[in-house]
Structure 1
Amino acid sequence: MSVRILDAGDAALTIEFGSVIDPALLAAVNALDAAILRRQQAGALAGVIETMPTFRSLTVFFDPLATDRDTLLAALQPLIDAAEHGTPVDGRHWRLPVCYEGEAAPDLAEVARTIGIDEAEVVALHSGTEYLVYMLGFLPGFPFMGDLPARLRLPRRSQPRVRVPAGSVAIATGLTAIYPWESPGGWHLVGRCPVPLFDARRASPSLLAAGDKVRFTPVSANECRALEAGLRSGDIDPMQWLVADAAHAATAEDAA
């Protein structure tokens, strides 16, 4: 693992663990982020304001009136060294519903034609894979998840959309994602997830977190609409799609 320390202005440091998307790098990022939080809570790391994790790096924002770059880096160095040997954290397991039908999946037919298989096979490949949430970004609650099966790996669309509907499930390169909000976007839309991924009223506004594992369960258009209605009214709790533990996740997978 090749670690680089980069200055991000005069009040932030970025610690890069590598240059690729890889679970080992995510494990290092998460380990360092957790270690910094523990030190902060213990009052043993002065001046740190916030951390921002990505696929392969962690940016640490600090108050230059409370500490300086060299002092902070000296305090962080043992944590960085330990994080390089961190083991992947087994995050929460989710089983999220996705409608792969009709207007919910405007690019499904084109994706199938492009890679030379039928639509049902695209759905089977996409829903039959467990994805790792590498990071949140772009929009509040937007999860970048990998890794897509090799057959589904396509470049971004040559013509991005001005409006991608909220809830759209998309693929591009080796990743899949869910758009929590309507926004522009250039990924291929293959389904729709009715579960809201961000709610500022929750204690933890983002439903998913880096390190979580996600599988998708196909549902019909009618089921998707019913779930959306129940979620809007508050009759359905989004946490119902959280699988209790890894053993339960395996049982759920066998039963699906």
Structure 2
Amino acid sequence: MFEVSTVGDRGLRIQFGETISPDTNQQVRIFCMLLEKERITGVVEWLPTYTAISIFYDPYVISYDILKQRVLGMKDKIYHTDLPAAEVIHIPVCYGGEMGPDLLTVAEQNGLDERDVISIHSNKDYLIYMIGFTPGFPYLGGMSDEIATPRLSEPRPAITPGSVGIADQQTGIYSMETPGGWQLIGRTPLKLYDPTSASPILLQAGNYIRFFPVSMEEYKTIEQNVQNGSFTPHTETLQEK
């Protein structure tokens, strides 16, 4: 699929598919890379999602019709462009207790004990489909249905940054303090969003996350090292499966 439509009076949307899948997401990411290379005059920004890209432009510099033709002319390049190798970022998580107050709920909802939930959650590489909702918040794919759990019936007014949660078939990490209704199972001491950093967003779409459990003592040590700038998460190149 490659369908082009309008978005308001200064936007263009490219639809690559209707369902969430790694293949569709790969096309989205490749096209974003092509947009970065092309640098079309008049294009202000583009926003990738699970299955589409919205491109916003200055109509006083480039018209919709001309931009559409430029976009259509780039279509075939998708199939002749390779993405760089994906990386796996290892994310430490302290599960349960005050860090994960809903871990028991997730376990009971699925007929498991808390150790089972931790094992299932941390025994997976999660594709980062996109970053959104708040700066640095990763939309992840690949969570096991064995630990899928509905959202809270009443959202919490404030979630601590770094909280790891589950909502239905998804898992994610809160990048900043916001209200939220996800079931909280743990917390990472890493900063997913740091506006004072030269690279304020820790994660990138197209890479993978691998969670690993740490104790409260290990959590506090990593947290201190993060604060003084001496901690760098372990990263490795994804091995083709």
| TM-score band, normalised by shorter chain | over 0.9
2:161 equivalent among 156, 166, 169: 166
Indicate conservation of the 8 Å contact 1:134/1:211, yes or no. Answer: yes
**Is the helix fraction higher in 1 or 2?**
1
1:95 counterpart residue number? 90
Indicate conservation of the 8 Å contact 1:148/1:175, yes or no. Answer: yes
Using the TM superposition, name which of 66-75 and 153-162 deviates more.
153-162
2:13 counterpart residue number? 14
TM-score, normalization: structure 1?
0.88
In the alignment, does 2:122 pair up with 1:127? yes
Superposition pairs for residues 3-152 of structure 1, below 5 Å?
A: 3-40=2-39, 45-83=40-78, 90-152=85-147
TM-score, normalization: structure 2?
0.93
How far apart, in 2, do the equivalents of 1:212 and 1:114 lie? 30
Deviation at 1:48, TM superposition (A): 1.0
Using the TM superposition, name which of 219-228 and 103-112 deviates more.
219-228
Using the TM superposition, name which of 11-20 and 215-224 deviates more.
11-20
What are the Cα deviations for residues 163-205 of structure 1, in whole angstroms up to 9, with x where unaligned? 1111100111222111011111111111101000111233331
How far apart, in 1, do the equivalents of 2:195 and 2:177 lie? 16
154 and 101 in structure 1: CA distance in 2 versus 1, 3 angstrom threshold: closer
195 and 5 in structure 1: CA distance in 2 versus 1, 3 angstrom threshold: same
Identity score, percent: 37
214 and 119 in structure 1: CA distance in 2 versus 1, 3 angstrom threshold: same
Deviation at 1:129, TM superposition (A): 0.7
Using the TM superposition, name which of 169-178 and 130-139 deviates more.
169-178
Structure 2 unaligned residues grouped into runs of 5+: none
RMSD: 2.0
Structure 1 unaligned residues grouped into runs of 5+: 251-256
Alignment size in residue pairs: 241
Deviation at 1:89, TM superposition (A): 5.3
